[in-house]
Amino acid sequence: MSVLVTGASGFLGSHIAEILAGSGHAVRLLLRPSSSREFLKFDHEVAIGDVTDTESLGAAAQGVDVVVHAAGLIKARSAAEFAAVNDQGTANIVQACTEVTSGVRFIYISSLAARGPGDGSSPSAPVTEYGRTKLAGEKRLLESSLAERSTIFRMPVIYGPRDPALLPVFLGAKFRFIPLLNGGRNKISLIYATDAATAVQSVIDGPTALGPVTYTPEDGSVHTWRDLVGAVEDAVGHRATKVPLPRVAFAAAASVTASFAKIRNRAEVFTPEKVDEMAQEQWVCFGETLTADTGWRPGVQIGEGASLTYRWYRYHRWL
């Protein structure tokens, strides 16, 4: 089967593309000329383009059986920048697929941020601009003619090799000091990167189902941030001093970070809005529907995952 993957130079996108190539699919990657090829050490075809460049997308999507749309911004300098990629960029690739490829299946890599905090029992209510634009991207797909052949993955916290986002937690364990927002007792769902990738593969390789359908894969347990920190400490081999800090302290630090980023005209993940997201009581999801539909099950639990991630960081000198 031929598969176009957008966002393949990124953390999760590279894992998805690698898993698909390793299982025998013909993988085509939509890459910008400046995209890193560091993690793309597998057989693939390259289509030069960008989801914000509509003229580049027709050739990229031509003739493929499946599109996995993993491209997206998790940090941006403005709301408009988030919207240009996560919302309009999704509309662009969806439109290109409808114009040049008949019968294509479309898999959209979204996030729990699009749903908002909670356990999925309430209507979607994202609390960040990232979440709002990912939800807008979902709506672009669901309002298109591809909706009946679409699958949406709302991913929880993803961790593993190649992930820069959780590196500070490992650094905190290494240097034996980790601040915890509200004591670290907020509930979260997690998934190891290769498990997230095999979840996507299970839909591609499974029986063709009518959409739209939304899946929320996770590792089978509800965790807290303290659980994650404990697994990281075990992997690193150090017990860190864990300092509970109130939301206002994190918000103040995020404001300073965001101010410096603005001066340097750079995007920053750690912003006051991100603190608002982190402070929510729970970001929990359940993966039973995906298991029932495809047979997929997570293979890596938090202890093993933290250890594998730490070893990768050490080998690649990130730590």
- Whose structure tokens read 């150090």? 238
Evaluate if residue 141 carries a pLDDT over 80. Answer: yes
Evaluate if residue 40 carries a pLDDT over 70. Answer: yes
pLDDT tens-digit series, residues 259-268 = 999 999 999 9
Evaluate if residue 122 carries a pLDDT over 90. Answer: no
Lowest mean pLDDT among 140-154, 161-175, 198-212: 198-212
pLDDT of residue 293: 94
Confidence at 121, pLDDT banded by 50, 70, 90: confident
Evaluate if residue 100 carries a pLDDT over 90. Answer: no
Q: What is the mean pLDDT of the chain?
A: 95
pLDDT of residue 209: 64
CB 85 within 8 A of CB 69: no
CB 25 within 8 A of CB 32: no
Determine the Cα–Cα distance for residues 125 and 1; give it in Å rounded to an integer: 36
Determine the Cα–Cα distance for residues 316 and 319; give it in Å rounded to an integer: 8
Average of pLDDT values for 129-151? 97
Determine the Cα–Cα distance for residues 262 and 77; give it in Å rounded to an integer: 7
Average of pLDDT values for 54-73? 96
pLDDT of residue 295: 95
The residue among 208, 184, 197 whose CA lies nearest residue 70 is: 197
Evaluate if residue 26 carries a pLDDT over 70. Answer: yes
- Beta-ladder partners of 153: 109, 215
Query: Which residues are CB-contacts of 27 (< 8 A; sequence separation ≥ 6)?
Result: 2, 3, 5, 17, 20, 21, 42, 43, 44, 45
Determine the Cα–Cα distance for residues 308 and 195; give it in Å rounded to an integer: 13
How far is Cα of residue 247 from the mean position of the Cα atoms in its chain?
25
Confidence at 81, pLDDT banded by 50, 70, 90: very high
Burial 72-82 (b: 16+ CB within 10 A, else e): bbbbbeeeeeb
Average of pLDDT values for 136-147? 97
Q: How many CB atoms lie within 10 A of CB 227?
A: 18
| Biggest CA pair distance of the chain | 57
Go through the chain and tell me how many residues it has.
319
pLDDT tens-digit series, residues 276-319 = 999 999 999 999 999 999 999 999 999 999 999 999 999 999 99
Strands (E), the chain: 2-6, 26-31, 45-48, 66-69, 105-111, 150-155, 157-159, 177-181, 187-188, 190-192, 213-215, 223-224, 241-245, 282-283
Q: How much is the CA Rg of the chain, to the nearest whole Å?
A: 19
- Whose structure tokens read 């797909």? 141
More confident: 210 or 80: 80
pLDDT of residue 133: 98
Determine the Cα–Cα distance for residues 16 and 132; give it in Å rounded to an integer: 24
Residue 36, token pair as written in the block: 């890193």
Determine the Cα–Cα distance for residues 253 and 269; give it in Å rounded to an integer: 12
| Beta strands at 282-283 and 213-215: parallel, antiparallel or unpaired | unpaired
Average of pLDDT values for 50-70? 96
Determine the Cα–Cα distance for residues 99 and 1; give it in Å rounded to an integer: 20
Evaluate if residue 115 carries a pLDDT over 90. Answer: yes
Full set of structural domains in the chain with CATH: 2-155+191-216+286-298 (3.40.50.720)
Tell me the backbone φ, ψ of residue 119, rounded to 5 degrees. -120, 15
pLDDT tens-digit series, residues 177-218 = 999 998 999 999 999 999 999 999 999 998 766 689 999 999
pLDDT of residue 285: 97
